[in-house]
Structure formats: structure tokens, C-alpha cells
Amino acid sequence: MAHNLNKAHLNESKPVYGVTKFSDMSPEEFKKIYLEDLQSPKWNLKENNHTPMDRIKKLKIPQKVDWRLKGIISSVKNQKSCGACWAFSSVETIESMYSKEKGTAVPNLSVQEVIDCSVNNDGCLGGDTCQALLWLQRGKPLVEQTSYPLTDKNQVCQILSSASLSVHVANYTCMHYVGDENNMLTMLATVGPLTVTVDATTWSNYVGGIIQYHCSAFNNHAVQIVGYDLTGDVPYYIVRNSWGTDFGDNGYLYIKIGENLCGIATRVSSLMVKV
């Protein structure tokens, strides 16, 4: 019922806000629990956040891409009160790219391993997506969740002598596409899902539809972009969150393309895995 309602909201294109599981929290409480977990450096960005729509319309890419339909997106996870969005969003894209490159079912890789072991990050107290990918690219293999289960809390890093599967990051990018979302869309269409940082301050009461305004770029959260749609009056990104399936549209939300809304083009990572 809720899923159908959210689809109706999306068809209307306008964002819809209402009562959610976060509604009994004050803005300060919500921010403290869910939005103080990103430790990304500040970049000097272009003053113009807008990407001209005529530049986007000229792109020679599909008008619609949804990587969920290709079977390379794992199930929506819930970080709960663990401030490790940076780890969840990084692992999600590694899962997706492994499935895409290997042509196999999407694995369920260990977010907890990244929370516990990633250097220059602080586990559930916060971290940086690019630092996590750098650590993984330098040789640390990522194992399956069955070998290193998720607890959503800080633990001592476990050194596993063997695992049924280990995935290595071959290389990654960490860039901004502010004013250049046409290139970001090309990356999303031709390479695969992306890990990005965002400003999720106004998301606590999000129910459905396409976010088009009232969303700043003081980034404090990290998510995965799994697709886009350029066919309607309001083009949008398909964004996967890590607040459980009872958030938004079964764990997903939609953000208008072309204006760096919610800071979505500020810090963007793509990656390749070793196969």
C-alpha cells in the first residue's frame, strides 16, 4: 500500500512530506543520530550549481537507467544508530560492480568489516567514502557478510584467515560534478551505480515524490545512486538510502537532476573491482 502510494507521488513528480518513523525526533536529535557520520573534506566548487538541461538532453545515453532491473543491487540495509553511511554506500557499490563485472548474483558483502577495519575512519562515529575506497583499493579484500556479520556497532577489527569470497577494489574515482551533471549521468549509465555524499537534513519527513527544492549542499550523509529517469517533466536520480525499507519508497528516494540538489554532485565515486 505504501509502495503504491509513493509511486503515485512520483508520477505527480512533487515531493511529499509527512509522518515518518523519524517524526517524533527534533531536528537536532535526527541530525545527531543520523547525520553526523560524514567526515569528508570541503572542496572549492563552482559557484554555478546548475547543469544546463540542453546539455543533458544532448547526451547519447539511454533516457532511463535502473540498475535494479539488471539484478546488481542488493537489498536495502539499515544502519540504525551506527553512523557508518560512508561504509554502507561504499560497500553497496562494490557489491553492484562485482555482480556486473562477474555476471553473477549480487553478493552480500560485509559492511561491518569496513566499519571495524578501515583506516583513517571512525567506524560508527563517522568516516569518508573516498578514504574507505582508498583503503580497499590498497589491497584489503572485502568478505561476505556471513563471514563477518553486521552488528551496527564498533568492534575490534577481525583478521580472517580464510573466507568463501573476497572482493578487491581495482580502482576508483573521487570527483565532483557540480555544474557537470551531464558527465555524472554518463558515468552512471556506462559504468554503473555511484557512491555519493548528500545533505539529508530535510529527509526526516520524506514520504515520496521527487525532491526539487529545500535541500541544501552541506553534505552530511552518503548514499548510492542506482539509476535515473530523463523521460518526464522533472528528470531525477534514483537514490538508495541505508535507513531501512520503511524509509521513503521502500528505502529509496528521488532527487531532481541538474541543480546539485542535496549536494548530490559534490563528492561522487565510481569504482571497478578485480575479477
- What is the average per-residue pLDDT within 101-124? 96
Query: In this predicted model, what pLDDT tens digit does every residue of 240-275 receive, in sequence order?
Result: 999 999 999 999 999 999 999 999 999 999 999 997
Task: List the catalytic residue out of 85, 117, 130, 262.
Answer: 85
Give the pLDDT band (50/70/90) at residue 2. Answer: very low
Q: Letter for the amino acid at 233?
A: D
Residue 45 is predicted with a pLDDT of: 59
What residues contact 220, with CB distance under 8 A and at least 6 apart? 31, 35, 36, 37, 38, 198, 199, 200, 201
Residue 140 is predicted with a pLDDT of: 80
> Is 85 in the active site?
yes
What residues contact 102, with CB distance under 8 A and at least 6 apart? 275
- Which of 85, 159, 77 is CA-nearest to residue 121? 85
CA 268 to chain centre: 9
SS3 content of the chain, % helix, strand, coil (to 5): 30, 20, 50
> Is 262 in the active site?
no
Give the CB-side neighbour count of residue 267, counting CA atoms within 13 A. 25
Task: List the catalytic residue out of 176, 220, 221, 262.
Answer: 221
pTM listed for this prediction:
0.93
- What is the average per-residue pLDDT within 133-157? 93
- Which of 227, 261, 264, 258 is CA-nearest to residue 54? 258
Range of lowest pLDDT (36-45, 53-62, 215-224, 237-246): 36-45
What is the chain's length?
275
Residue 179 has pLDDT above 80, yes or no: yes
Task: List the catalytic residue out of 117, 241, 260, 262.
Answer: 241
> Is 82 in the active site?
no
CATH of domain 2-273: 3.90.70.10
Give the pLDDT band (50/70/90) at residue 12. Answer: low
- Per-residue HEC secondary structure of 107-130 comes to CCECHHHHHHHCCCCCHHHCECHH
Query: In this predicted model, what pLDDT tens digit does every residue of 57-96 receive, in sequence order?
Result: 999 999 999 999 999 999 999 999 999 999 999 999 999 9
